[in-house]
């Protein structure tokens, strides 16, 4: 029978590597399309992850704009925005040419916003997207309601 308790002479251990491996294996990987959104379902208001919401449903989401990509030309500008929630989950949001000029002021990285749009899945293997129709500063909305919120 083989002695499995014996240490091998040629293997050196580096302090801290065991801790790093164990913490990396327990860390939860954040995926796009998992942002929490709200919408009106058959029985009233519902809060779910974006990837669980049916296509063409109007949703409301809150978070920080973490990335902005401007596409198209001067005549037909479009944008792709990554909205990240307080838990680190995110969603890709698209702004079409029709809404771009109205929403341009809010498409700034680091801005805490509330947006409203419809859910779309370009491919069944891709995470769901939000086609944005309205974006407002969350601080502006809370100030109108008489409260102050900081991101």
User: How confident is the model over 77-122, as pLDDT tens digits?
Assistant: 999 999 999 888 999 999 998 888 888 888 889 999 999 999 999 8
Tokens of 59: 């949703």
Mean pLDDT of 71-76: 87
- How many Å apart are CA 138 and CA 102, to the nearest integer? 17
Q: How far is 109 from 151, CA to CA, in rounded Å?
A: 13
Cα distance between residue 104 and residue 31, in whole Å? 26
Instruction: Give 59's pLDDT tier (boundaries 50, 70, 90).
Output: very high
pLDDT at 144: 72
CA distance 33 to 128: 5
User: Rounded CA gap, 128 and 94, in Å?
Assistant: 11
Q: Hunting for tokens 């899945």 — which residue is that?
A: 121
CB 77 within 8 A of CB 85: no
Strand partners, 137: 113
At 148 the pLDDT is: 54
Query: For residue 1, what pLDDT band results from cuts at 50, 70 and 90?
Result: low
Longest dimension (CA), the chain: 77
H helices present in 11-149, as ranges? 17-26, 97-103, 138-144
């Amino acid at each position: 029978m083989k002695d499995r308790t014996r240490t091998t002479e040629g293997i050196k251990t580096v302090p801290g590597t065991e801790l790093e491996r164990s913490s990396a294996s327990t860390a939860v990987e954040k995926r796009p399309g998992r942002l929490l959104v709200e919408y009106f379902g058959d029985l009233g208001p519902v809060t779910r992850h974006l990837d669980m919401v049916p296509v063409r449903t109007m949703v409301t989401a809150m978070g920080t704009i973490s990335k902005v990509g401007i596409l198209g030309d001067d005549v037909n500008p479009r944008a792709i925005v990554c909205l990240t929630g307080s838990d680190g989950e995110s969603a890709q949001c698209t702004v079409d040419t029709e809404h771009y000029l109205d929403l341009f002021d809010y498409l700034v990285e680091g801005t805490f916003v509330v947006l409203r749009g419809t859910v779309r899945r370009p491919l069944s293997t891709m995470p769901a997207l939000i086609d944005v129709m309205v974006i407002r500063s969350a601080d502006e909305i809370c100030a109108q309601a008489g409260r102050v919120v900081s991101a």
